[in-house]
Amino acid sequence: MSSPWSSRRDVSAETSRLLIERAHEELLAGNAADERLADVRDLVRDSWRRSLEGLVGVEGLPPLDLDSDSLDEYRRAHPLGGVIDMVRGLLLPGGAEDSGVIVAVGDAAGRLLWVEGDRSVRALTADMGFVAGANWSEAAVGTSAPGTALALDRSVQIRGAEHFNRLVQPWSCTAAPVHDPETRRLIGVIDVTGGVEAVSPQAQLLVDATARAIEGEIMVARLREKSMTPARSRRSQPREIERMTLRVLGRDRGLLEVAGSDGERIVELTTRHAEILLMLATHRQGLSAERLGELVYGTADAAATLRPEMVRLRKSLEATAPALVPTSRPYRLPARLETDVQHVLSLLDRGAHRVALAAFRGEVLPDSVAPGVEELRTRVTATLREGLMAEASVDVLLAYADTEAGSEDADLLRLCLSMLPARSPRRAGVVARLEQLE
């Protein structure tokens, strides 16, 4: 089957882009009454204003709300999980890998659950954080088809410069909301992103039709389930995930963030308690007292020293995060504890190099001498460097070269030099830095 996406270009596209960019700059400068804003569609202009009022950054990266494990769990429970094959069949028939577009499926909060399609487009859009698990609501990234479609509860097309976030302006997208077929409650969004082909009238018709087909399929599946097993309860709606996150990047003392129905709590941990929790979060299957003692203290016979520290850690967690109080034999966390280390590694796995670099706040507990922490610190730093040097754009590599981790990396600077155009004004600075190192 041939791809439904054509590549015809509107001859007035460049003129329109320039007009919209100028209007965007006037709005950001506080000139909301500038006459150039009249050239912008009402839908887009209103979304820009909501983005401004929400203090959305014009060059920010979206938050990663779901890491790999949370994402898998959430997908399985979500109503759209049972129709993802239908989405692929309708929007990515035939050669999905070279279709020229990517298709994203998100939940009602704007969190992307699946991002599939053209491999080269995915590699480029991942750099701006368009990856599974990222939050693309209007409140997070401003005007975009998925976020604005959810905000307005209607299908939306956003062309290039109409995006509020400058990082997204090279792309165009069409999105449509998806509703529960019985309650009409908003349950998700379908989006197609690419070049001008992604915002044609045909694209909007196809995305709208796909959303309606999905709603029909969900209804048919429910009726089928009821007829087969009348006593079976309906599939439960996805539960709100209580999140507990340990932050250790670039910090000497860890931060434990606990977000639940009663609000959010932030607790600063001692270095030792951060080391123990980090090891238990990294080894989710559990650790013997001897192995945990070796990872934290450096010797296998440190179990006697570890036990009183575990008593103190338990007392601290009972007051702040009782769901995390470790069990014994082996020592293990009874609830899932995410870490900012895992977030960075997960982003690298998804090709979101720019977002991964932004999330990398520094080395893992830089002052810790615990063997397990030192090993993890080395692995994270090496994985980040290797991932960036293998696949990242030159802009991301130059940003990495400005961090402490990449500031004295001659091989990195040589790679940047090889990727920069011959007449790039940035070459002189890279050459000067190389000469200093050599």
Range name among 32-46, 176-190, 386-400 with the lowest pLDDT average: 32-46
Residue 192: strand, helix, or coil: strand
* Arithmetic mean of pLDDT over the chain: 86
- In terms of domains, do 358 and 286 share one? no
Mean pLDDT of 100-129: 92
For residue 260, the domain's CATH number is: 1.10.10.10
* 10 occurs within a structural domain: no
- In terms of domains, do 284 and 219 share one? no
CB neighbour list of residue 104: distance below 8 Å, 6 or more residues apart: 112, 114, 115, 116, 130, 136, 146, 190, 191, 192, 193
- In terms of domains, do 82 and 119 share one? yes
Q: What is the pLDDT of residue 96?
A: 62
Range name among 2-6, 204-208, 391-395 with the lowest pLDDT average: 2-6
242 pLDDT band, cuts 50/70/90, is low
- In terms of domains, do 258 and 396 share one? no
90 pLDDT band, cuts 50/70/90, is confident
293 has a pLDDT exceeding 50: yes
Using CA atoms of 340, 345, 348, 350 in order, give the dihedral in degrees to the nearest 10: -90
* 161 occurs within a structural domain: yes
- In terms of domains, do 181 and 321 share one? no
Residue 266: strand, helix, or coil: strand
Q: What is the pLDDT of residue 55?
A: 86
Q: What is the pLDDT of residue 278?
A: 95
The angle at the Cα of 327, spanning 324 to 328, to the nearest 5 degrees, equals 150
Q: What is the pLDDT of residue 325?
A: 92
Q: What is the pLDDT of residue 354?
A: 78
- In terms of domains, do 80 and 209 share one? yes
Q: Give pLDDT tens digits for 204-231.
A: 999 999 999 999 989 888 887 776 655 4
* 50 occurs within a structural domain: no
Mean pLDDT of 114-121: 90
239 has a pLDDT exceeding 60: no
Mean pLDDT of 18-33: 76
- In terms of domains, do 217 and 287 share one? no
- In terms of domains, do 180 and 307 share one? no
235 has a pLDDT exceeding 90: no
Q: What is the pLDDT of residue 350?
A: 79
Q: What is the pLDDT of residue 7?
A: 52
* 46 occurs within a structural domain: no
- In terms of domains, do 172 and 199 share one? yes
Q: What is the number of structural domains in the chain?
A: 3
% of residues, the chain, pLDDT over 90? 46
Q: What is the pLDDT of residue 236?
A: 46
Question: How many secondary structure helices (H) and strands (E) does the chain include?
Answer: 17, 9
Domain range enclosing 420? 342-364+374-437
- In terms of domains, do 224 and 279 share one? no
- In terms of domains, do 186 and 252 share one? no
* 424 occurs within a structural domain: yes
- Alpha carbon of 8 to those of 5, 145, 161, 197, 208: distances in Å? 9, 20, 18, 7, 21
Q: What is the pLDDT of residue 237?
A: 45
* 7 occurs within a structural domain: no
Q: CB 72: neighbour CB atoms within 10 A? A: 11
Burial annotation 80-104 (CB, 10 A radius, 16+ → b, else e): beebbebbbebbbeeebeebbbbbb
406 has a pLDDT exceeding 70: yes
* 289 occurs within a structural domain: yes
Pick from 184, 205, 228: which residue ends a domain? 228
* 419 occurs within a structural domain: yes
The pair of structure tokens assigned to 17 is: 């882009």
Mean pLDDT of 10-29: 71
Pick from 228, 254, 279: which residue ends a domain? 228
Q: Are 166 and 155 in contact (CB under 8 A)?
A: no
